[in-house]
Amino acid sequence: MSGVTTLTVGEKRGHTFFREAPVIAGYASIAGRKESDGPLGGQFHRIVKDETLGEKSFERAERKLLVEAVRLTLHRAEVDASEVDVMFSGDLLDQIVTANFAGRDLGIPLLGVYAACSTSTESLLLAAMAVSSGFAGYALAGTASHHLSAERQYRYPLELGVQRLPTSQWTATGAVAFLVGTAGEGRVAIRSGTVGRVHDAGIKDVNNMGAAMAPAAADTIARHLAARGQSFEDYDVVLTGDLGRVGHPLLVDLLKERGVDTDGRLADAGIMLYDQRQGVHAGGSGAACSALVAAAAILPGLESGTIRRALLVATGSLHSPRSYQQGESIPSIAHAVELEVVP
Amino acid sequence: MSGVTTLTVGEKRGHTFFREAPVIAGYASIAGRKESDGPLGGQFHRIVKDETLGEKSFERAERKLLVEAVRLTLHRAEVDASEVDVMFSGDLLDQIVTANFAGRDLGIPLLGVYAACSTSTESLLLAAMAVSSGFAGYALAGTASHHLSAERQYRYPLELGVQRLPTSQWTATGAVAFLVGTAGEGRVAIRSGTVGRVHDAGIKDVNNMGAAMAPAAADTIARHLAARGQSFEDYDVVLTGDLGRVGHPLLVDLLKERGVDTDGRLADAGIMLYDQRQGVHAGGSGAACSALVAAAAILPGLESGTIRRALLVATGSLHSPRSYQQGESIPSIAHAVELEVVP
């Protein structure tokens, strides 16, 4: 399996530590109907019951979610769009049209990114890098996904009524934006981050992405802890997203094999976003899933002090419908961002 | 037209100036058969006559081009892959599978980007930012495109024999990688850059991308020059890519409207890559096009001193086949990177 290399302990490749740590200057989440019916339903900043948002296509609805999440973030932070130097954004749709059309509507300089469902942490890490290096005073990181646009692009149009498999995950409908600013602009610091390497466990079942992504999460977490000289004990929570009920126990095992004890502190966004009674099978997924859970369950904890330090490890399956149809396996990646309460 | 805002002179939003300028520590280009038959044919580092590269699909051939371009870059620079902290890469295929599968094969931490045909300058600018901020000692920027994979994804499989329009551009087959390092590692510095804003001129004709992209190029060039206090006279060449024979004169007009005199220093990669006798109609395009011309015609000039300073302004059409089929217009973007000989 190419790309699966053994961790050299102490290797810091792909890891960055922000001496002058940028901060979360604002954030906002918008969630769909099913997401608002889940356990975190009361924690989102806005709920959208009509999943068309009054638009004529699900693709247009998805980009409206992202535009509204950015506008709500700026409104809550009392920052004008003209004060934002750059926005890092991506999504699941071909040619990241959600981010690109949202960039058009927002008028903010845009750097498009793609890392499937790990787009949330890739964009947050890059926004932190831009602010930390002085390139940006304010930088935005934003992502969105929509169940109905994703299903028809990646799998089947819902109208076909194709039965889902027990290992399937449910693409979340929602959008989240984070505004990153300089020290003093917020109470949650972005302390460090680790860029993922692409892994390929040889899995070819697109209905079992949790298993495909678990090795990438294990590698990024192990590399991050080694580079920082940390263990799970240093974190109140390590939030992966979105391994679901199949991938999560695999990750625990893979970390154990590497001698990493999760100490009961490992949680997964794909498991947290929905109740099992909601019929999502293995859990949630989608670019918005890990971002929604971070915005609803992690950031409020950091702001109130019930969480002191958290590691966000969003995971992404890097296949395309065509690569899958051509018989390729599913490469995956995970990017980590360390958040802590400003001392 | 949303997103088309007037330039505030002196506005530096999205612009970055590297005080400790990172450098091009190495680069390599691989070009396809048609590209090697063009005017720059003698300037590429490697030519690929068999456009399948011995692979069973054009998509696999495309990713092999990228992997080989990265390996050739590292070989030429005498740098091992294990010394590279991060690679910024993207391409035209859905879910940037070329970059993602190449990342798997190379084992280098990967941050996926997407900006259509402006991916080359987006990735170069981010690599410069990563090195300049100390996050990376070496960072790679790489992109690829393949005529045959792009045609069947964006337009029609070649087997259909659909006639091309006079305004059509020809997606280039090739790949280019740039290795960015710290001062002292090379003779060409990355002095500054400007992140593009998404423009939308309301054009819905995917066979006329030059016209769709010209306004984005005009905006980025004008903003870059204003932020730097420069004019065209400060550059030996400003290379756009890829406006082609339709978009290039439009850009000249748009800059004239803004009071910017191009002083005969504006060139376009889409015009330079092929001879008109090669039947490419309006010129070249594709993520590799501007990168190939930069690698074949600009970098050698900077290294030999015949060019003192150059501005690379790759342009991208940000539509997807689906957004086009849904009747949406074509948003576009351009990102600028300033290269100069180390004083």
Q: What pLDDT does B250 receive? A: 97
pLDDT(A278) > 80? yes
CA distance A272 to chain B (A): 26
Q: How many other C-beta atoms lie within 10 A of the C-beta of residue A184?
A: 9
Q: Find all residues with CB under 8 Å of B71, minimum gap 6, and list them.
A: B81, B106
Exposure letters A238-252 (e unless 16+ CB within 10 A, then b): bbbbbbbbbbbebbb
pLDDT value of residue A3: 33
CA distance B124 to chain A (A): 12
| Per-residue pLDDT tens digits for B251-294 | 999 999 999 999 999 999 999 999 999 999 999 999 999 999 99
Instruction: List chain A residues with CB under 8 Å of B14.
Output: 85-86, 109
**Mean pLDDT in residue range A301-311:** 97
What integer pLDDT is reported at residue A296 of this predicted model? 98
Q: Is B248 helix (H, G, I), strand (E, B) or coil?
A: helix
CB A280 within 8 A of CB A164: no
Q: Do A110 and B86 touch (CB under 8 A)?
A: no
User: Of residues A116 and B158, which shows the higher confidence score?
Assistant: A116
User: Which among B57, B93, B198 has the least Cβ separation from residue A110?
Assistant: B198
**Do A126 and A13 contact (CB within 8 A), yes or no?**
no
Residue A306, CA distances (Å) to A42, A237, B257, B264 in order? 18, 11, 57, 62
Q: Is residue B132 over pLDDT 90? A: yes
Higher pLDDT, A209 or B39: B39
- How much of chain A, in percent, has pLDDT values that exceed 70? 97
Residue bearing tokens 């720059």: B40
- Which of the residues B2, B100, B219 would you substitute to probe the A interface, choosing the one with the greatest number of A C-beta atoms within 10 Å? B100
Instruction: List CB contacts (< 8 A) between B135 and chain A.
Output: 16, 129, 133
Q: Which residue of B has its CA nearest to A335?
A: B111
Show the DSSP H helices in chain B as ranges.
Answer: 33-36, 58-77, 97-106, 119-132, 147-154, 209-228, 244-257, 269-272, 287-293, 299-304, 321-325
Q: Which residues of A touch B196 (CB under 8 A)?
A: 109-110
Residue B201's pLDDT is 92
Chain A residues in contact with B126 by the CB 8 A cut-off are 111, 126
Condensed to tens digits (0 to 9), the pLDDT of residues B105-128 reads 999 999 999 999 999 999 999 999
Q: Which of B93, B122, B126 sits opposite A320 (nearest CB)?
A: B93
Nearest-CA residue of chain B relative to A199?
A: B104
Q: Which of helix, strand or coil describes residue B149?
A: helix
Mean pLDDT of the A180-199 span: 96
The verdict on a CB contact (< 8 Å) between A59 and B196 is no
Q: Percent of chain B beyond pLDDT 90?
A: 88
Q: Is the pLDDT of residue A129 over 70?
A: yes
Residues of chain B contacting residue A60, judged by C-beta atoms under 8 Å apart: 326
Task: Pick A116's closest partner by Cβ from B86, B95, B111.
Answer: B95
Q: How confident is the model at residue B343 (pLDDT cuts 50, 70, 90)?
A: confident
Average pLDDT over residues B302-325: 96
The SS3 of residue B30 is strand
Buried b (16+ CB within 10 A) or exposed e, A17-34: bbeebbbbbbbbbbbbeb
A109–B323 CB contact, under 8 Å: no
> Hey, is B2 helix, strand or coil?
coil
Residues of B with Cβ-Cβ distance to A109 under 8 angstroms: 13-14, 195-197
Asked if pLDDT for residue B10 goes beyond 70, the answer is no
Interface test with A, best of B195, B223, B328 (most A CBs within 10 A): B195
Position B9 pLDDT exceeds 70: no
Dig out the tokens for A177 from the structure.
């934006």
CB contact under 8 A, B320 and A94: yes
Find the mean pLDDT for residues A9-27: 87
- Which chain A residue's Cα is nearest to B320? A95
Distance from CA of A18 to the nearest CA of B (A): 9
For B57, the closest of A86, A97, A326 (CB atoms) is A326
Collapsing DSSP states into helix, strand and coil, what is residue B343?
coil
Q: How many residues does this entry show for chain A?
A: 343
Measure in Å the smallest separation between the Cα of A150 and chain B Cα atoms. Answer: 12
pLDDT at residue A6 is higher than 50:
no
Distance from CA of B210 to the nearest CA of A (A): 18
Q: Measure in Å the smallest separation between the Cα of A286 and chain B Cα atoms.
A: 13
pLDDT 10s digits, B212-251: 999 999 999 999 999 999 999 999 999 999 999 999 999 9
| pLDDT at res. B1 | 30
* pLDDT band with cut points at 50, 70 and 90 for residue B148: very high
**Nearest chain A residue to B193, by CA:** A135
| pLDDT surpassing 90 at residue A98 | yes
The set of residues, in sequence order, having a beta carbon less than 8 Å from that of A270 and lying 6+ positions away, is A169, A210, A241, A242, A243, A244, A245, A247, A248, A282, A283, A284, A285, A289, A290
CA A32 to chain B, closest CA, distance in angstroms equals 22
Q: Of A75, A100, A316, which is closest to residue A213 (Cα–Cα)? A: A316
Which of B58, B135, B190, B199 would you mutate first to test chain A, the one with the most A CBs within 10 A?
Answer: B135
Give the other-Cβ count within 10 Å of B236's Cβ.
Answer: 18
Q: What is the distance of C-alpha A2 from the center of its chain? A: 25
Assigned token pair, B298: 């600009």
HEC profile of A167-213? CCCEECCEEEEEEEECCCCCCEEEEEEECCCCECCCCCCCCCHHHHH
- In A, minimum Cα distance to B82 occurs at A13
* Cβ distance of A114 and B103 shorter than 8 Å: no
CB contact under 8 A, B105 and A3: yes
Which residue matches tokens 């594709």? B286
Cβ-Cβ pairs closer than 8 A, A with B, add up to 189
What Å distances lie between residue B196 and B6, B119, B220, B224, CA to CA? 14, 11, 6, 10
Q: How far is CA B230 from CA B15, B224, B341, in A?
A: 13, 8, 17
Mean pLDDT score across all residues of chain A: 94
Confidence of residue B11 (pLDDT cuts 50, 70, 90): low
Q: Is the pLDDT of residue B316 over 50?
A: yes
Q: Do B94 and A90 touch (CB under 8 A)?
A: no
Residue A256, min C-alpha distance to chain B (Å): 23
DSSP for residue B294: I
- How many C-beta neighbours within 10 Å does residue B252 have? 17
Other beta carbons within 10 angstroms of residue B223's beta carbon come to 26
The CA R_g of chain B, rounded to the nearest whole Å, is: 18
Q: Which residues pair with B178 in a beta bridge?
A: B27, B141
Q: Hey, are the CB atoms on B109 and A196 less than 8 Å from each other?
A: yes
Question: Which candidate, A118, A136, A19, A6, places its Cα nearest to that of B135?
Answer: A19
3-state secondary structure of B316: strand
Q: Which candidate in B52, B60, B95 is best for mutational testing of the A interface (most A CBs within 10 A)?
A: B95
| Mutation site for B-interface testing, chosen from A80, A108, A110 by largest number of B Cβ within 10 Å | A110
- Say if residue A8's pLDDT is above 90: no
Per CB-CB distance under 8 Å, the chain B contacts of A320 are: 93-95, 97
> What average pLDDT does this structure show over B304-319?
97
Asked if A322's CB is within 8 angstroms of B93's CB, the reply is yes
Phi and psi at B193, nearest 5°, equal: -160, 160
Can you give chain A as a three-state secondary structure string?
A: CCCCCCCCCCCCCCEEECCCCCEEEEEEEEECHHHHCCCCHHHCCEECCCCCCCCCCHHHHHHHHHHHHHHHHHHHHCCCHHHCCEEEEEECCHHHHHHHHHHHHHCCCEEEECCHHHHHHHHHHHHHHHHHCCCCCCEEEEEEECHHHHHHHHCCCHHHCCCCCCCCCEECCEEEEEEEECCCCCCEEEEEEECCCCECCCCCCCCCHHHHHHHHHHHHHHHHHHHHCCCHHHCCEEEEECCHHHHHHHHHHHHHHCCCCCCCCEEEHHHHCCCHHHCCCCCEECHHHHHHHHHHHHHHHHHHCCCCEEEEEEEEECCCHHHHHCCCCCCEEEEEEEEEECC
From the centroid of its chain, how far is CA A7?
A: 24
Considering the entire predicted model, what is its pTM? 0.96
Average pLDDT for B156-161? 86
Residue A12: what pLDDT?
Answer: 86
Cα(B139)–Cα(B88) distance, rounded to whole angstroms? 8
The answer to whether the Cβ–Cβ distance between B97 and A322 falls below 8 Å is yes
Q: Are B114 and A116 inside 8 Å of each other by CB?
A: no
